[in-house]
Structure 1
Amino acid sequence: MSEIRLLDLKERDFAEVLQQWTDTVQVDLGFPFGAARKALNLFVRDLSHNIWMRELLLLDAVENKLEVPLDGIVMQNLRKRCPRRLPAVSVIGLTPSISERYQQYASEIAASMGTFRVHLDIDWWSGN
């Protein structure tokens, strides 16, 4: 099994690292793209919430690039708020291009709320 090196977050382009990790989880664990990406986005978001890991990995510098973990609740909220149509798919049905569309709209919505997209699911999971 391949390794996921945390220090890659500090040393390389975030999008490149996230994609490499996604590929690793898909190949080594047999996860579909959506499930792999959601798990990794939850993991990286939690790292960014840990004061020591945030500092060690310089995650404050990439907070604006972190993705919102996509799941049924998050995708439903994005479709509801999005003036353009997003496809109604499950996490298992996500493809890289559909995920990118959701992330793009999440960035727009988060910016209008004065936050970053990575934080949107916390609010939506609490029922807001």
Structure 2
Amino acid sequence: MSTYQTMQNKNDKTILRFALLVLFTSMLSGCTLTRVSDSTHAKEVDELNVIGLSLEGARQRTTEKGFVCSEYGNVNTVVTEQGEHRWLQTECSKKSAELFCPQMRFVVLNVDPNTNRVVDVGNYVNQHTCF
């Protein structure tokens, strides 16, 4: 093996190590690329425009935007500025693309059980921070 080939093999190994290091580092810090802020998520939820839709219509629209909706809901007492309400609540969630410590974003569909229409929408973000 010539000196040139030996140098070439060492350079290839160095480049491979560097590429693996960059890949591993980007997996850890890639969170900033696919995570969203609370305000951005709230805007995304507002843009769904599901108030007034039937529960099935709201689930369909939310699913089209990448959320996964629960098949079941719970009747809960919800307190708003207008007072207390007994609404059926169904959660839909979306996970960010990180494999390690993903962020979870949630949409809460509040449905009037008498009309089966969405009357209010809530949202929250669970950061799943690991460190």
Fold agreement, TM-score > 0.5: no
Name whichever structure is richer in strand by fraction.
Answer: 2
TM-score, normalised by the number of residues in structure 2: 0.28
Normalised to the residue count of structure 1, the TM-score between the two structures is: 0.28
